[in-house]
Each structure stands twice: as structure tokens, then as C-alpha cells.
Structure 1
């Protein structure tokens, strides 16, 4: 990849309110219901927050993009309720199907006037090109990208936001990343990304117009 590196100054949002406690939440050492900042999420109860926090990596990515482009940033739980109404998530009891890309993209375009393009097939070169155009790219990766696991059991299932790229790799904002290690501007070599990336995502831009 013969191109210079570029990084966008995108604010970071974790899918949990207490980003510094993510290691405890993901290991189960601490329940999300015990997050001291749960009320910032806009949830009606700690239980509602604890249900949604592990499931809203996509909403965390959207909040980062909204902040980056100067939109008001809704709290996470009211935002996911809106996404449910838009069909971007489907809840059946304690199970949630999501994030569903097409209704999410339609909602993001309608609600905020964003450019939102679903990419069922996406390669490294395209990620680099889109970031070079000033866009951000939501990538479906496996969650252990946070530690660059040598043998992840699958690809996809977790959304991260590509905020920078270069010849050697991509920079990710990871909503479930580890503090000081893989939350903000986490560099992942292209060769490592291949182990986690499902080859699909959503390209986000500041406006609907294609460039």
C-alpha cells in the first residue's frame, strides 16, 4: 500500500460508561450494573444499562462519528432505543440481533444526514481510501482484536471504528478495548487485521453526497 498515513482526531467512546473498568466488565469480575457511571447512559435502571452495554459497540462507534462531525451526541441507551425503532437492532427477550447494517445506514442518513454506505465486501485498500477521503469506517472484527490474539476462533461479531490508516496498518477506536492499550488510536497491522476482520462494514461520512 503506497500511501502516506492519515489519522482523524476522533473522540473516543467506550460502550461502557466507565472506560477504565472495561477489563473487569469483559472478564465478569465486575457486573456492568455496578458501573458507578451507569446513569450517564440514560438507562432507567442499572439492569437496563447492564443488558445493553455489552451489545452496543455499534452505537459507541456512531457516537464517536457524531462527535467528530459536530453533532449532539445522545446518551447510549436512548440512542439504542432509537436504533431499535429504526430496525437496526431486533430484540427477542434476552436475545438481540444486531447491528443490522442496512436499516442502521438508512437511519443514520435520515436522522443526521450522514453518508452511510453498507459494504458487504471490504478490503484493506478500500478502508485506506475511505479514511483518506475524510470518512470513518465501522469494521466487523472479532472481539479479541483488543489483544491481537494469535488464534481468534472466528472473524467478525464486534464493531470497531477505523480512524486512521497507513501503509503498515489501521488505527482503531475499539469500544471494548483495554485502557492504555487498545481503546484509542490502537494500531493494528494489516496482516494482523486479517485474522479478525470479517470483510464487511459501514463507511460513514459527514454528509450524504458521494465524493
Structure 2
């Protein structure tokens, strides 16, 4: 990693579950996501719909953070997920969901929300500080175990977090499935630890002109 000038964007945080303080219990299986008392704020019609989607909303949580940061809006997560489904960024096959598929998602974000969005199938970690310094935010593909910086997982990727800052020692992320008080907002991931989790791809977001009409 080359020299990094510290920069941290003050981006609002959103969890992929409506009750961020309950994430540890939900992930541990001690509480069903359907029993999240705030499930109705998600845009889901039923608790069962919320249960299905909540485990798959990391990308929508990242999008909400970016939209709030630049446009001051944060539409319900499952409302956004439905739009992404229609745009081909998700493909549902019964109880299986393929996605988030980066290229159609980037196209959707540009067309629907007026953000510059670029799918980067190859995104070296050393490029992320420069993008952040240019005013961008970066949805990065990491393994969910990044929340605890645990041992090397069997694979990398599978979960999206939002890179909001960088220092000489660390990447600073908002993790939609992080634990309250530990690894949610402005969580620090040392550059030396990142390669265990980072899949080397992501989606670069930035403002592009004016906010869409009607916001």
C-alpha cells in the first residue's frame, strides 16, 4: 500500500436489518429476522418477506447510505430491492436469489438515482484511497467475516460493505451486517487484514449532476 492521506467521509449509516442493535442476535440465530420489531419500516408487506430479503440487503443498505449522503433520501430497503429485481440486478428463483449483479445494478443507480456508478470487476485495494480522495464511495465485495476480522475464510467476497474512508493503516467501512458498537459505522479494517476478505471487485459511486426530479 502506498502512502495514504487520511480521509473519512461523514456518511450516514444503515444496517441491512431495521434494528441495528439486534444484528448480533439475528446472525447468531437467537432471534428470527421476522421478529425484528421495526420490520415494517423496510417496505416489506409481511414479516416473511422481510425475513427473506433482510439477509440479502447489504447492497441496498450501501445504496441507502450513498443516497442519503448525496441526495438526503433513504428509500426503504425492500422498495429499492424490488426496483433492482425489475432492473435485473437481482434474479429470483423461488427461494434462491442471484445477485447483487454489479453491472445492471450500476446501470440502475445511474438511470434511477442520478449517481455516477461504475462496476469494477477488478479493483485493486490500493486504488480505493484514491477514489475516496476524489469524493467517491466504494461498495466493496468482502466476506461477511470481516465484521470480526476473524481467521481467513474459505472464500472471499459474498457481502457488500461501503468504503467511506481510508487512513495510512486502515480502510474505514460502513458494514451493513456489522455488530452494534463494534463493526457497524466507521469500522476499521487494517490494510494487512483486508486481503483475507476482499474479493478484488466493487462498485464505485459518486455524484453526477443534480439529484433526480421528485426527490
| Aligned residue number for residue 7 of structure 1 | 8
Counterparts of 2:58 and 2:90 in 1: how far apart (Å)?
12
2:122 pairs with 1:113: no
User: TM-score normalised to the size of structure 1?
Assistant: 0.97
Aligned residues: 209
Counterparts of 2:104 and 2:72 in 1: how far apart (Å)?
20
| Aligned residue number for residue 40 of structure 2 | 39
User: Is residue 152–residue 197 contact of structure 2 (8 Å, CA) maintained in 1?
Assistant: no
Deviations 1:3-44 (A, max 9, x none): 310000000000000000000111111100000000010110
Counterparts of 1:100 and 1:54 in 2: how far apart (Å)?
16
User: TM-score normalised to the size of structure 2?
Assistant: 0.95
Quote the offset at 1:72 in angstroms.
2.2
| Secondary structure of the structure 1 residue equivalent to 2:23 | helix
Counterparts of 2:72 and 2:91 in 1: how far apart (Å)?
26
| Aligned residue number for residue 182 of structure 2 | 181
Within 5 Å, which residues of 2 pair with 1:81-100?
A: 81-100=82-101
2:181 pairs with 1:207: no
Quote the offset at 1:71 in angstroms.
4.1
Counterparts of 1:191 and 1:60 in 2: how far apart (Å)?
26
TM-align CA RMSD: 1.2
Quote the offset at 1:52 in angstroms.
0.1
Counterparts of 2:84 and 2:29 in 1: how far apart (Å)?
27
